[in-house]
Amino acid sequence: MYFKRDTILFLNGKWLKATDAMGNLFSQTLHHGNGVYDGLRAYETGTGPQIFKAKEHFKRLHYSASTMSIQLDYTPEELTQIAYKLLQKNNLGNAYIRPLICKGRTTSSSDHPEVYLLMAAWQWERYLRNDLMRVMVSSYQKEAPDHIPADTKVCGNYTNSVLAAMEAKSKGFDDALLLDSNGHVTEGTGVNFFYEKDEVLYTPPSGRIVPGITRSTVMGYAREMGYQVVEKKFTPEDLIEADTAFFTGTSAEIAGIRSIGGHDFTIDWEDTVAYSLFLMYRQRVANNEFRDFTLV
């Protein structure tokens, strides 16, 4: 799925066949989770593939690198150019793009200066299901108070997401909602969370979540359509009264939720503000009409 025999990737300034690329088995990323990554989507348009909000994603990659004191020598503009070239070399239109910054040799001290940039692209359908999702409240917390910040895409942060996703799957759910140490809802395992009540959207404030680019896009669309969006802290109990809920993310786009912790939402998904946003997002972003909006 990630690569085929003729897939080309970008590694440390070189274009290589994926099958010829060599990784460092002793890298600090592999042994200690000290690497950072991001995920972008390109959409096929009449004038070739367009990457959705590339500069925002690469700025976030720089932020993630800075949280681990990793020096990234490529500017967001250079990274954007590499991403477009990557699509071209692989003849990809609709694609997912994964930049990953790895640290060199393993050592628990962070002073080893070697940094690797890998960029790969592959075809990836929407990551979450098209039908409505069943979600549980995870027993894993998003963040301990003295832990690495929750708003950065550091590889090691995602071991927690992997545990939460495995727990959810083993219990028959599609994904999980993670709480912070005060019991407030933060986000899904790799997606941001919204709920809707009386045509108002609520989402956790930034700080203890990855500041999703899809999240801010959806908030902008909702406000443009005249709906109120409120960033506030809330608990799973507050969700019992909700009309509906949904996840947002580059991989998932907008994914509607049927139930949380076995409690079903009663309003039909098609009758919600969330569904109008889902349609608008699909139309503007996925159906190539986003050229008139923010592109990179």
Active-site positions read 153
| Candidate list 79, 155, 179, 213; residue touching ligand PMP; CB under 6 A | 213
Q: Is residue 212 near ligand PMP by the rule CB under 6 A? A: yes
Picking from 187, 233, 209, 221, the residue whose alpha carbon sits closest to that of residue 60 is: 209
Of 8 and 252, the one with the shorter C-beta distance to ligand PMP is: 252
DSSP assigned state of 282? I
Q: Is residue 204 near ligand PMP by the rule CB under 6 A? A: no
Q: Is residue 152 near ligand PMP by the rule CB under 6 A? A: no
Q: Which residues of 93-129 are buried (b: 16+ CB within 10 A; e: fewer)?
A: eebbbbbbbbbeebeeeeeeeebbbbbbbbebeebbe
Q: For residues 275 and 246, is the Cβ–Cβ distance under 8 A? A: no
Closest approach of ligand PMP to the CB of residue 135, in Å: 14
Picking from 262, 250, 239, the residue whose alpha carbon sits closest to that of residue 211 is: 250
Among the candidate windows 63-71, 128-136, 245-253, 279-287, which touches ligand PMP by CB under 6 A?
245-253
Rounded to whole angstroms, the Cα distance separating 296 from 279 reads 22
Closest approach of ligand PMP to the CB of residue 114, in Å: 25
Closest approach of ligand PMP to the CB of residue 20, in Å: 29
CB atoms within 10 A of CB 226: 8
Find the binding residues for ligand PMP in span 53-112 (CB under 6 A). none
CB atoms within 10 A of CB 18: 17
Contact string 247-266 vs ligand PMP (x = CB under 6 A): -xxx----------------
Q: For residues 235 and 176, is the Cβ–Cβ distance under 8 A? A: no
Q: Is residue 7 near ligand PMP by the rule CB under 6 A? A: no
| Candidate list 86, 191, 255, 277; residue touching ligand PMP; CB under 6 A | 191
Find the binding residues for ligand PMP in span 33-52 (CB under 6 A). 39
Residues that bind ligand PMP (CB under 6 A): 39, 153, 187, 190-192, 210, 212-215, 248-250
